[in-house]
A and B are shown apart, each in its own frame.
Chain A
Amino acid sequence: MSTYFLKRLLMIVPTLLLVTVTVFVVMRLVPGDPVAMMLGDIDNPELVRQMREELRLDEPIPVQYVDWFRRVITLDFGESIVTGEPVFDTMLSRLGVTAQVVFISVALAAILAIVFGTLAAWRQNRASDLAITMLAVGSMSVPAFWVGIALIIVFGIKLQWLPTVGYVSPLDDLSESLQFMVLPVTALVVAETGALLRMVRSTTLDVLRMDYITAARARGLGERTVLFRHALPNTLIPTVTLVGFALGSLLGGAAVIETVFTLPGLGRLLVESVYARDYVMVQGVMIFVAAIYVIVNLLVDMLYPLLDPRVRLRA
Chain B
Amino acid sequence: MNGAATILQVEDVSVSFGANAPRVLDGVSLQLAAGKVLAIVGESGSGKTLLARSIIGLLPPGAMVRSGRIELLGQDLTGLPGAAMRKLRGDQVSMIFQEPQVSLNPVVRIGRQLTEAAIERRVLTPDAARRRALDLLERVKIPDPADVMKRYPHELSGGMCQRVMIAAALMLEPALLIADEPTTALDCAVQRDVLEVMLEAARREDTAVLLISHDLGLVAGHADDVLVLKAGSLVEKRAARDILASPAADYTRELLEAATVARPASPRDVGSNPVCTVDGVTIDYPVRRDWPWQEQRFHRAVDNVSLDIRRGETVAVVGESGSGKTTLGMAILGLVAPTGGTIMVDGEPVSTDPRRTRRFTQLVFQNPYAALSPRKTVRESVAEPLLVDRSADAVSVAARTRAMLDDVGLPAALDDRRPHELSGGQRQRVSIARALITQPGLVIADEPVSALDVTIQAQILGLFARLQASHGFACLFVTHDLGVVEAVADRVVVLKQGRVVESGDTQAVFANPRHAYTRELLTAMPVLQPDTGSGFHIVNRHFGGVSP
Contacts and interface: CB of A to CB of B under 8 A. Distances in A.
Interface of A: 3, 7, 210-212, 214-223, 225, 229-230, 233-234, 237, 307-310, 313, 315
Contacts, number: 86
Contacts of B42: none
Interface residues of B, number: 34
Contacts of B406: none
A225 B120 contact: yes
Given A225-B116, A225-B120, A313-B155, A220 B86 contact: yes
Nearest to A315: B290
A220 B103 contact: no
B108 interface: yes
A214 B99 CA distance: 12
Q: Interface majority SS on A: helix, strand, loop or mixed?
A: helix
Contact of A211 (B97, B168, B291): B97
Contact of A229 (B89, B103, B106, B108): B108
Contacts of B120: 221-222, 225
Contacts of A7: 290-291
B121 to A, nearest CB: 7
A38 B88 CA distance: 80
Interface in B138-169: 152, 154-155, 165, 168-169
A61 to B, nearest CB: 31
B63 interface: no
B107 A309 contact: yes
Nearest to A208: B61
A211 B116 contact: no
Given A3-B290, A230-B108, A310-B154, A215 B86 contact: no
A214 B58 CA distance: 7
B105 A218 contact: no
Given A217-B89, A219-B94, A212 B106 contact: yes
Interface of B: 56, 58, 86-91, 94-95, 97, 99, 102-108, 113, 116-117, 120-121, 152, 154-155, 165, 168-169, 171-172, 290-291
Contacts of A309: 106-107, 152, 154
A211 B103 contact: yes
A221 B115 CA distance: 11
Nearest to B288: A314
A87 to B, nearest CB: 36
27 contacts: A7-B291, A211-B102, A212-B103, A214-B97, A215-B95, A215-B165, A215-B168, A217-B86, A218-B58, A218-B89, A218-B94, A219-B94, A220-B86, A220-B87, A220-B88, A220-B89, A220-B90, A220-B117, A221-B116, A221-B120, A222-B86, A229-B108, A233-B107, A237-B107, A308-B106, A308-B107, A309-B154
B353 to A, nearest CB: 34
Given A229-B108, A234-B105, A309-B107, 19 more contacts: A212-B106, A215-B165, A217-B86, A217-B89, A218-B56, A218-B89, A218-B90, A218-B97, A219-B171, A220-B91, A220-B94, A220-B121, A220-B172, A221-B116, A225-B120, A233-B105, A233-B108, A310-B106, A313-B155
Contacts of B102: 210-212
A-B interface, 9 closest residue pairs, ranked by CB to CB distance from nearest: A220-B90, A220-B89, A218-B95, A219-B117, A309-B152, A215-B103, A212-B105, A219-B90, A211-B103
Most chain B beta-carbon contacts within 10 A, residue among A211, A220, A230, A310 = A220
A136 B290 CA distance: 42
Contact of B152 (A217, A225, A237, A310): A310
Given A215-B97, A309-B154, A221 B103 contact: no
Contacts of A217: 58, 86, 89
Contacts of B172: 220
A237 B107 CA distance: 10
A215 B89 CA distance: 10
Contacts of A313: 154-155
A216 B104 CA distance: 8
A196 B77 CA distance: 40
B171 to A, nearest CB: 7
A303 to B, nearest CB: 13
A217 B171 CA distance: 14
A232 to B, nearest CB: 10
A216 B105 contact: yes
A215 B104 contact: yes
A211 B161 CA distance: 13
A315 B106 CA distance: 17
Nearest to A220: B90
Nearest to A313: B154
Given A222-B86, A313-B155, A230 B105 contact: yes
A7 B292 CA distance: 11
A234 B104 CA distance: 12
A313 B288 CA distance: 12
Contact of B107 (A211, A307, A315): A307
A244 B228 CA distance: 54
A180 to B, nearest CB: 40
A148 to B, nearest CB: 38
Nearest to B155: A313
B169 A219 contact: yes
A7 B121 CA distance: 44
A217 B94 CA distance: 9
B438 to A, nearest CB: 40
B522 to A, nearest CB: 32
A313 B107 CA distance: 12
